[in-house]
Structure 1
Amino acid sequence: MIVLNNHIYFSAFSDTHGRELWKSDGTTAGTVLVKDVFPGIASAHTIGLFKINKTNNRIYFVANTNVGEELWVSDGTEAGTQLVRDINVGAGSATPMLGMAKDNKMYFSADNGINGRELWVTDGTQAGTIMLGDIYPGGTGSTPQSMTVFNNKIFFVANAPQTGEELFQTDGTVAGTSLVKDLEPGILGSDINLTSAVIVNNKLYFRAHTNLTGYELFVTDGTANGTELFFEIDYWTDGFPVIFKPHNAPLDGSPTPLFQNQYFFFTGFTLDHGTELYISDGTRTGTRMVKDVNAGFSDGVPYALYKYSNTHLYFTAENATTGLEIWETDGTAQNTRMVFDANPNNTNEGGLYLITPDAIVNNNLLFAGPSGDEAANRLQYDGFIYQRNNGTLPIFVQSFTARLQAQTPVLQWQLNITSNNNRYQLQRSADGVNYTTIESYQPTQGAVTKTYADVAASALQQKQLYYRLAIENNNGSKQYSNIATVTMPNEVYGVRVLQQAGKPQVKYHLSKNNTSLQVVTATGAV
């Protein structure tokens, strides 16, 4: 189903018309047949609905009639619903596979019965429906697939006799359709996946395979020189990255909506850690594993089941204690945690929890999974509502740092606060284990940047000091930021050594906070 001009368009069956294209405005009277494409009880089997909702407000779909499976277009009226072009002339079927829309044109693959399955484009008219080159000459066809819009062009994967399946691009003309780069030189191809590709900083990030790297994360700026390996997750084996593309990512080539306007997530495999969650800002130095959820070489994030919110990524993860459950992260290891144990009695296999694209409603996370109440040998999925306001972390630490300024520790932090009702404390420790609170804060909602000078630290006479933020959850439990350390200065004003032959050595030590006298005998005793 798709929505266009306040109507839902869908395929439905009736005894009178068979399966055809229908629309509805949400009322009984407003639910009507658009057109009986294949007249009578024979079904047109309208499939693959795809809309272009810019200036021409059209729906493209594939229908089967006496000219075979061909491409049709509709503006929502009976008169405006018509065959675009009989691509495979006669009763043969072109069987179009719709790909991507750009600039009021639809890009798709089709088989005209002569050239095999190749890339086509249409503006909705017969004259404006053309094949964009015979990439694999003859009747074999290049089988274009995995299309995405980037750099004001359509990027896609196609099979050519000299290169195998590689990355191609088109500007909508025959002359402007070309190979981007043969990542795996020769005919083997690089098995590129653009389905979950993301656009960050005017570059396209995607998964590909070469004999040298295995399956890893690649990047392109649209040129051959700018198409290369981006991040090798594991040198010794396939990293097999799976990008967590936001469900609201635009299809028109606009930049991908990034997590916290900066990051995207993906999973990757290493021999040491198994499959775990990674985060990237589009730079190699800014790409890292978030957390080893399932410590050791076992998989922690084996499925690409996820949902982005404004402040968190929710995802399915597992460990040896709880099995598969719902987790959340703000991109930091310390704030990556399980949020709900739906099946607490099962420590080995929690079950597969489903997170739909519309899973967050009124700040509640909706998901389903087996709760452990099902009868033996029967998998039963129960509905759950995880309330983000109840027992969850309302304050998200963006950064927490410490530095020494004029012999005084200065702490600085940046927070994203989603609740007005939760306190947090600045804590200090002399040993990194036992902490005491030195300042408490009642936060206000929004982005917060604070600085604190610990002027009392010099009186502690400690060489090393440890600091952290302690954040109270709504249920009374606490979460902690990273630990920031400061090395205090010795502040030595003078050391004098008094030595005479055959006499004890005397060391006199003077600093800001203490004075000491040390006597060393000729035998070395202190």
Structure 2
Amino acid sequence: MAVPTNLVALGDQLVFSLDDGVRGQELWRLQPDTLQVEPVADIRPGPLGSHPSAPVRFGDQLCFAANDGQTGFELWCSDGQAAGTRRVADIHPGPGDSVPSALTVLGRQLLLVADDGQHGFELWVSNGQAAGTRMLADIHPGPAGANPRELTVAGGRAFFVADDGRHGAELWVTDGTAAGTRLVRDIRPGPEASGPSRLLAFGQQLLFTANDGVHGPELWISDGTAAGTRLVRDIRPGAQGARPSHLVVVGGLAYFAADDGHRGTELWRSDGRRAGTWRVADLNPGAGSSMPSFLTAVAGQLLFSAHDGRSAVTLWRSDGTAAGTRPVASGLAAGEAPNRLYADGRRLLYAAMDSEGGYELWRSSGQAAGTFRLADLNPGPFDSYPHGFTRIGQRLFFVADDAQRLTSLWCEQPDGRIIQVALPVQAALSAAVVAPPPPAE
């Protein structure tokens, strides 16, 4: 079945993975102005496919992991043309897999996690050429590997979580050189891990959650030095911790969901200081939780999904004050259970349900008048589950199920029409208009 995945804008074309039933899952491209779909390269000839994954733009190329059937899953790059699609390096020589993952651009370098068959999964660096691809640091000597994860760029450096075999999983940082790759701080002293997670760039600093073994999972901040890595606030005193989640930055402030042990999981904000960290509002009054989720920055405002204990989960907005935190629209006018929120310029796109249908495509300006369902792509009570939103110029592409329950590729045209893109195994479908332009706001 043709299920497009891993949508990425590469210059003026859309590149994605697709199994057309003949080649297996390979790399494909689409020209936005014509909506013509064609294969980029048949990396692994035959029906098995190379299964491209973890794609990231690196300069004017797309770098990803793929398996050509001879050298296993390795690092590849493509300029969107067959002649410009090549394996960068056979990191794990022979048929073994290095399984590149966590591809992250740091300046003019590409960071990745890979296993060369001797050192386990460690941090690697590449300039897109075989000669410029090397292990950056053997953080955990031996075959076990440090298993780096959550690579996040902030202040010209990449922060990540790794286990060197002595300190447990802790916060590390690199400037892209071996000498500049180091443990930031042993937050939970000794071999036990503090388990940093939810890493988020916050200006030149990094916000994250960690457990120092005393305060439980709480919000931390780091400038990349041991002295500059500290607990922001002990929101929930004791070992259980507030468990901050869904972190996002809006207007220079960090917003997140946290549980202080008294008011349930509610919306909080922080400027990185203890005194500047507080609960925005108790949306579900008392010990109940409003469970803010899918926090998304849209044109300087915060939009998110939550419930107040009296009505269904719906779309909310906040300006960082209790008075300015309220539902976008009354009742279910903004849809029920919004998820997969995506900021597209000054509007929010998301999936939600209403009384007339399943999970479909909605949009919101953050105001009631600018919030409505864009299209019922899988008509009736069925779900289309729109996701994978990717913009190229004046066109927006995404993936959703159609009336035949087939997961397909869709395009919102500059005039607002939503068109289903004809994929190879759906050739009978022509690029038909399935939704008219939205009403004027």
* 8 Å Cα contact 2:329-2:368 kept in structure 1: no
2:259 pairs with one of 244, 264, 269: 269
Deviations 1:125-162 (A, max 9, x none): 11111011221111111101000112322211101111
Superposed CA deviations along residues 6-39 of structure 1, whole A, max 9, x for unmatched, are 0111112235533221222125685332222123
Q: Residues of 1 paired with 2:254 and 2:224: CA distance?
A: 20
2:248 is aligned, of 245, 250, 256, to 245
Partner deviation per Cα, 1:156-201 (whole Å, 9 max, x = no partner): 1101111000111122222221111100011111110144x1313x
Secondary structure, aligned partner of 1:108: strand
Q: Secondary structure of 1:93's partner? A: coil
Output the CA distance in 1 between the equivalents of 2:181 and 2:364: 49
Name 2:27's counterpart in structure 1: 21
Distance 1:35 1:390, change over 3 A: closer
Q: From 224, 227, 246, give the equivalent of 1:225.
A: 227
Q: CA deviation at 1:235?
A: 0.9
2:205 and 2:288 map into 1 onto residues whose CA distance is 32
Tell me the amino acid that sits aligned with residue 209 of structure 1. Answer: N
Which of these two proteins has the greater Rg computed from alpha carbons? 1
TM-superposition CA deviations, 1:47-82 (whole Å, max 9, x none): 2221113xxx11111111211111111122222211
Q: Aligned match of 2:341 in 356, 359, 370? A: 356
Structure 1 residues 2 and 382 mapped into 2: Cα distance closer, same or farther (>3 Å)? closer
Letter in structure 2 aligned against 1:25 = Q
Alpha-carbon offset, residue 297 of structure 1: 1.1
Matches within 5 A, 1:73-472: 73-195=77-199, 197-200=200-203, 202-236=204-238, 237-246=240-249, 258-259=250-251, 262-300=252-290, 302-343=291-332, 352-354=337-339, 356-358=341-343, 367-372=350-355, 380-381=358-359
Identity, % of aligned positions: 33
Any idea what SS the aligned residue of 1:31 has?
strand
Q: Distance in 2 between matches of 1:244 and 1:194?
A: 7
Match of 2:38 in 1: 32
User: Does the 8 Å CA contact 1:342/1:369 hold for their aligned counterparts?
Assistant: no
Q: In structure 1, what residue type is equivalent to 2:18?
A: A
Partner residue in 2 for 1:480: none
| 1:108 Cα deviation after fit | 0.7
1:223-246 Cα distance to aligned partner (Å, 9 max, x none):
111111111111133111124325
Aligned to 2:63: 60
Q: C-alpha distance in 2, partners of 1:5/1:384?
A: 27
Structure 1 distance, partners of 2:311, 2:363, is: 19
CA 1:27/1:16 → structure 2, altered by over 3 Å: closer, same or farther?
farther
Shift of 1:276: 0.8
SS of residue matched to 1:319: coil
Q: Secondary structure at the match of 2:131?
A: coil
AA aligned opposite 2:233: F
2: distance between equivalents of 1:58 and 1:64? 18
- Residue 10 of structure 2 corresponds to 4
Query: Could you tell me the TM-score, scaled by structure 2's length?
Result: 0.76
Q: What is the CA–CA distance in structure 2 between the aligned matches of 1:161 and 1:20, rounded to whole Å? A: 38
Distance 1:272 1:37, change over 3 A: same
- Shift in Å at residue 343 of structure 1? 4.5
Given that 1:123 and 1:129 are in contact with CA atoms closer than 8 Å, whether structure 2 keeps it comes out as yes
The answer to whether the 8 Å contact 1:307/1:355 transfers is: no
Q: Secondary structure at the match of 1:239?
A: coil
Q: Could you tell me how far apart the structure 1 residues matched to 2:365 and 2:176 are?
A: 48
AA partner of residue 296 (structure 1)? G
SS for the counterpart of 1:37 is coil
Contact kept in structure 1, 2:153 and 2:201, CA below 8 Å? no
Contact kept, 8 Å, 1:241 with 1:266, in 2: the verdict is: yes
Are residue 45 (structure 1) and residue 48 (structure 2) matched?
no
| Aligned residues between the structures | 361
Q: Which runs of 5+ in 2 are unaligned?
A: 1-6, 371-441
Higher relative contact order (CA 8 A, sep 6+): 2
**CA–CA separation in structure 1 for the residues paired with 2:246 and 2:35:** 44
2:219 alignment partner AA: L
Deviations 1:443-484 (A, max 9, x none): xxxxxxxxxxxxxxxxxxxxxxxxxxxxxxxxxxxxxxxxxx
Taking the aligned partners of 1:137 and 1:280, their CA distance within structure 2 comes to: 38
3-state DSSP of counterpart to 1:276: strand
Please give the alpha-carbon distance, in whole angstroms, between the structure 2 residues aligned to 1:14 and 1:387.
37
Distance 1:366 1:155, change over 3 A: closer
Contact 1:276 1:299 in 2 (8 A): yes
Aligned-partner Cα distance in 2 for 1:71–1:384: 37
Amino acid across the alignment from 1:122: S
Q: Which amino acid aligns with 1:32?
A: E
Deviation of 1:319 (Å): 2.0
Residue 390 of structure 1: how far off its partner (Å): 5.1
Other structure's SS at 2:184 match = strand
Would the aligned equivalents of 1:303 and 1:317 in 2 still touch at CA under 8 Å?
A: yes
Q: Secondary structure at the match of 2:313?
A: strand
User: Partners in 2 of 1:231 and 1:26 — Cα distance?
Assistant: 48
2: distance between equivalents of 1:126 and 1:97?
17
Calculate the aligned-residue CA RMSD, in Å: 2.5
Shift of 1:334: 1.5
Amino acid aligned to 1:212:
V
> Structure 1: any 5+ residue segments left out of the alignment?
247-257, 345-349, 375-379, 393-526
Quick one: which amino acid aligns to residue 247 of structure 2? F
Give the conservation status (yes or no) of the 8 Å contact 1:315–1:327.
yes
Q: Secondary structure at the match of 1:187?
A: coil
Contact 2:125/2:134 (CA < 8 Å) preserved in 1? yes
